[in-house]
């Protein structure tokens, strides 16, 4: 079973990894996607969206 966890605005990457571990999952893939916003100078990167794909640990199945 796979589940995707997103790093929330109010947490660090370590906080997210701890949350994944507490739910009984192990991260297997990190996904980073840029978020752009339109400004007077054109389109510029505003932030980075970080997600982790995680699988359920065997003893949790």
Residue 61 pLDDT:
56
List Cβ<8 Å contacts ≥24 apart for 41-50.
Answer: 49/6, 50/6, 50/7, 50/13, 50/16
Per-domain residue ranges of the chain: 2-60
Is residue 37 within 8 Å of residue 8, measured between CB atoms?
A: no
- pLDDT tens profile 3-57: 999 999 999 999 999 999 999 999 999 999 999 999 998 999 989 999 999 999 9
């Amino acid at each position: 079973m796979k589940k995707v966890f997103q790093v929330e605005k109010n947490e660090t990457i370590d906080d997210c990894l701890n949350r994944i571990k507490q739910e009984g999952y192990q991260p297997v893939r990190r996904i980073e996607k840029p978020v752009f916003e339109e400004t007077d100078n054109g389109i510029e990167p505003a932030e980075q969206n970080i997600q982790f794909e995680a699988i359920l640990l065997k003893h949790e199945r």
